[in-house]
Structure formats: structure tokens, C-alpha cells
């Protein structure tokens, strides 16, 4: 999330919580895609992580980018913690361990996402290179311990870091050592939202397998293909997971609101101050009886911020966020939006994808999600491997993109961005398995070569 919401409009009724989500409904002609990706910075000399402060730190990187791009700083106190485009484009934010995130603008095509991404990387490289900084294309930092990872000066992260160990064993690893790519997509109506949410939740393990790219931790293989995804299984059960209720009769905006009201609150932001209310109920804030903040009533910004603190495999806000994939190199960062746009923005592809997953039970969906981080494309559901299912689903996504017929200046449509996924399915080998082969072979059982070969 680029920056926390600051809409002070008070919430007067429960219905307004639902209406906030309803306002996300848009006609198909107005659907957009917004791609977000995190990348892990390091110093080229010595391969150390990059702290916030110092002449060559994250703050200097932000300030240099502001000067180069004209983007405005997002501050907390007197510290820059991100940037935003005053022209209404994207934003840059910091994840807890210094992961540098581009929250892309809502764009019409994957071609525009490509241009946005390449422009961003060119700007970052121009500022980072003189500072001796480069960025990994991996889904998890492969070498540094959690204790050796720097901490960014953001109030919400301090609250989360204190709370995470109380509700799971891997939350701090998630915060400080992982990197993801996600795409945010629109819906036309409540029924359209429900169908897209069901299909994308059921197929999120496939995305985990296709984009698996985090096989190293603390300088050695971790026994997984997507350690980032596996970490989420032991982070905070109150706010993560496959959301079995989404597949039950009666699912809609109201049902999601009820779930969110049961998700414990992290913080309440007033001005620049983050009040730690971790573990408390948002219902108390609605009623003006939040302990320590008695009399304070919930605002639309409180609700927007609270929605951003749930971390299911697909998250509903005023759009849907696909959250199952590891970060990766540029072709994979573009394959992610292409995959989901092709599948969810074409009615025929969406219907056919629903036919594939509609009969899977909650237990089967959960078992597939649990298996994907370790087994990748070999994970199975009802006797079919994710490689087999993926080949079928990718055909649907390609047909959906072809039907969209969104062409760039060279006359090419968006299907070409799926080529890296076709290659993975054809070989039956994930990026992570290729990296493990390098570790056993050319890398001579060291992750140090990743700092030369797995970089933007």
C-alpha cells in the first residue's frame, strides 16, 4: 500500500461499510489494471542490505528519485517514506525491511504497464547506481538473517512487528524478508466480484507455483520453491488464507464486511500518529469505545486502512488484489497482470475457469494451497497436477487476451506477455527449480552469485 488513507468522513452506519466496497463497481469499459511489485535492495559491494539512513541509504534513494521524477514525498513526521505522482499516476512505498515497491497507476493495458515498469526501473537505476545499490529479482532475501535486515521508520510497521509474533510464527519473516508482485483488477457488480473472487482464490495456488521464486533462506536452500508463500501459512490466521466463506451461498459485499469486522485491528491513525490498538475489534471503534480512544468514531480512512491490513490470498477493497505470486524479473512482472487480465476480464475465459474449479471443495482448495509452495507444478487436486491445470488455464488466459485485442504501437496484442509462463509449463520447471539447479552446479552451493545474476 502506497500510503494510508486520510479521509476524515465519519461512518454513521454499518451500511456505509458495505457501500464503500460497492463504489468499486465499474462498467467494463472503465476496467483498469494496477500492478504492484516489490524489489529487495542491496549494496553491490559486499551484498549487504540497505538501511534507511546514511548517504547511500533508502532515504537518499527516495530523495534522489523525487528530484529526478518530480514526484512528491510521502512523509511520516519529517521522514520521507515514499513518493507519489502529483499527476495522478503511481506511488513508491517502503515495505518493512526496505523492499522498494512501485504501486502502479490504474492503466488500460499490459502494454502501458510495461512502459510504466521500464520507466520506473530506468529512474531507479539512474539514482541507485551512484549510491552503489542494486535490486534483487527474487521473492525472498536469500542471504541475510531477519535480525540483520534493516527496519524502516513507519509507525504501522512498528505496531505490526510487535503484534505478529503473538499470532503466528513467521509474520516477521513475511514483513522483513519477502517480495511479491500483485495485480489489482476491477469488477462490474456484486455478482461479478463474487465470481472473480472465487475463481482467483481457487487458482491462486497455480499462480504461486508458476511464479515460485524464493528457494533460499539464510544462504542455503529452504526446502521450498516459494518460501514467501509458505510463510503466509503461519503468519496470522485471523487475516490470511483461502476464505472458504467466499464459496458459500450468500457471499457478497455484506459477507466480506462481516469477515473484516472480525479481523482484529492493528492501528488507528489520527494525524501523523499511529495509535496501537492491535488485537482490538473494529466494532469498538465504530461504537466509539475503542480502549484508549474512547469517544473516537470510525472514519472512512479508518475503514480503508483496516481493509488494507487483511492479507488473504485475494483481497477485496474497491478492486480485487491477486496476492499469490513471488516477485521476479521483468518478464514475470508483466506475465502476472497478463495472466489475470486474460482470465478475469473476458467473460468466456472467466466462465470456463469457473467450470474448472467450481466443484473443488474447501478442503481440496486448502490442500492445494498448502502443497503449492513446496511441490510447485507437481501439486495435485483430484488427480490433476497444477502443471496440467495450468496448461488448460493458460490457454483460457491467452484466448481472453486475444479477444481483448489491445495492441501496442507495433501492432502486437497482450498475449506475448504470457510466453514466460508457457515456457515454464512446457518445461515443467519453475524459476525456483532453475535456481536450485544453479546452486548445486555453477553457483557451487553459494547464493552469492544471485547478487550478480538475479538483479534488475
Q: What is the pLDDT of residues 142-181, one digit of tens each?
A: 999 999 999 999 999 999 999 999 999 999 999 999 999 9
The yes-or-no verdict on residue 113 having pLDDT over 50 is yes
Domains along the chain with CATH numbers: 14-453 (3.30.590.20)
Q: Alpha-carbon distance 428 to 240, whole Å? A: 29
Write down the mean pLDDT value for the chain. 97
pLDDT digits over 314-347, tens only? 999 999 999 999 999 999 999 999 999 999 999 9
pLDDT, residue 309, reads 97
pLDDT of the residue at 200: 98
pLDDT exceeds cutoff 90 at 88: no
Q: Is the pLDDT of residue 6 over 80?
A: no
Question: Which whole number is the average pLDDT over 61-86?
Answer: 97
With beta carbons less than 8 A apart as the criterion, state whether 321 and 182 touch: yes
Q: Which of 41-45, 87-91, 338-342 has the weakest average pLDDT?
A: 87-91
| pLDDT tens per residue across span 53-62 | 999 999 999 9
Residue-wise pLDDT tens digits, 356-379: 999 999 999 999 999 999 999 999
Query: Is residue 3 over pLDDT 60?
Result: no
Mind listing the pLDDT tens digit for each residue in 403-451?
Answer: 999 999 999 999 999 999 999 999 999 999 999 999 999 999 999 999 9
- Check residue 4 and give its pLDDT: 62
138 pLDDT above the threshold of 50: yes
User: How far is the CA of 58 from the CAs of 79, 98, 152, in angstroms?
Assistant: 11, 7, 9
Amino acid at each position: 500500500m502506497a500510503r494510508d488513507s486520510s479521509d476524515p468522513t465519519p461512518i454513521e452506519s454499518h451500511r456505509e461499510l458495505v457501500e464503500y466496497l460497492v463504489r468499486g463497481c465499474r462498467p467494463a469499459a472503465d476496467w483498469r489494471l494496477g500492478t504492484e511489485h516489490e524489489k529487495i535492495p542491496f549494496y553491490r559491494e559486499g551484498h549487504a542490505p540497505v538501511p534507511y539512513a546514511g548517504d547511500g541509504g533508502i532515504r537518499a534513494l527516495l530523495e534522489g528519485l523525487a528530484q529526478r521524477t518530480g514526484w512528491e514525498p510521502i512523509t511520516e513526521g519529517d521522514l520521507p517514506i515514499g513518493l507519489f505522482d502529483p499527476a495522478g499516476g503511481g506511488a513508491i512505498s517502503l515495505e518493512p525491511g526496505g523492499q522498494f515497491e512501485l504501486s502502479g497507476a490504474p492503466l488500460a493495458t499490459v502494454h502501458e504497464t510495461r512502459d510504466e515498469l521500464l520507466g520506473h526501473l530506468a529512474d531507479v537505476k539512474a539514482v541507485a547506481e551512484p549510491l552503489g545499490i542494486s535490486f534483487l529479482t527474487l521473492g525472498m532475501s536469500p542471504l541475510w538473517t531477519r535480525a540483520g535486515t534493516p527496519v524502516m521508520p513507519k509507525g504501522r510497521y512498528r505496531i505490526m512487528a510487535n503484534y505478529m509474533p503473538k499470532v503466528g510464527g513467521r509474520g516477521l519473516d513475511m514483513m522483513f524478508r519477502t517480495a511479491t508482485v500483485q495485480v489489482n483488477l476491477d469488477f462490474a457488480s456484486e455478482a461479478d466480484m463474487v465470481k472473480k473472487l472465487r475463481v482467483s482464490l481457487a487458482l491462486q495456488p497455480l499462480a504461486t507455483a508458476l511464479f515460485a521464486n524464493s528457494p533460499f533462506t539464510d544462504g542455503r536452500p529452504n526446502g521450498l520453491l516459494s518460501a514467501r508463500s509458505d510463510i503466509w501459512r503461519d503468519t496470522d490466521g485471523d487475516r490470511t488464507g483461502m476464505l472458504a466463506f467466499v464459496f458459500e451461498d450468500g457471499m457478497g459485499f455484506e459477507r466480506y464486511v462481516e469477515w473484516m469486522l472480525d479481523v482484529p485491528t492493528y492501528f488507528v491513525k489520527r494525524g501523523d500518529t499511529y495509535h496501537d490498538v492491535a488485537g482490538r475489534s473494529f466494532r469498538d471503534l465504530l461504537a466509539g469505545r475503542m480502549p484508549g480512544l474512547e469517544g473516537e468514531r470510525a472514519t472512512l480512512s479508518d475503514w480503508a486502512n483496516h481493509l488494507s491490513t487483511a492479507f488473504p490470498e485475494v483481497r477485496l477493497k474497491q478492486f480485487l488484489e491477486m496476492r499469490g505470486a513471488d516477485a521476479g524479473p521483468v518478464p514475470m512482472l508483466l506475465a502476472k497482470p497478463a495472466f489475470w487480465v486474460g482470465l478475469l476480464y473476458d467473460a468466456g475465459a472467466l466462465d470456463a475457469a469457473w467450470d474448472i474449479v467450481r466443484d473443488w471443495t474447501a478442503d481440496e482448495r486448502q490442500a492445494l494451497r498448502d502443497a503449492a509452495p513446496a511441490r510447485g507444478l507437481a501439486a495435485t487436486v483430484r488427480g490433476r497436477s497444477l502443471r496440467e491445470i495450468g496448461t488448460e488455464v493458460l490457454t483460457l488466459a491467452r484466448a481472453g487476451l486475444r479477444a481483448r485485442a489491445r495492441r501496442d504501437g507495433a501492432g502486437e496484442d497482450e498475449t506475448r506477455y504470457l510466453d514466460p509462463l508457457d515456457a515454464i509449463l512446457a518445461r515443467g520447471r519453475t524459476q525456483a527449480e532453475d535456481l536450485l539447479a544453479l546452486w548445486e552446479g555453477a553457483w557451487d552451493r553459494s547464493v552469492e552469485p544471485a547478487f550478480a545474476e538475479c538483479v534488475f
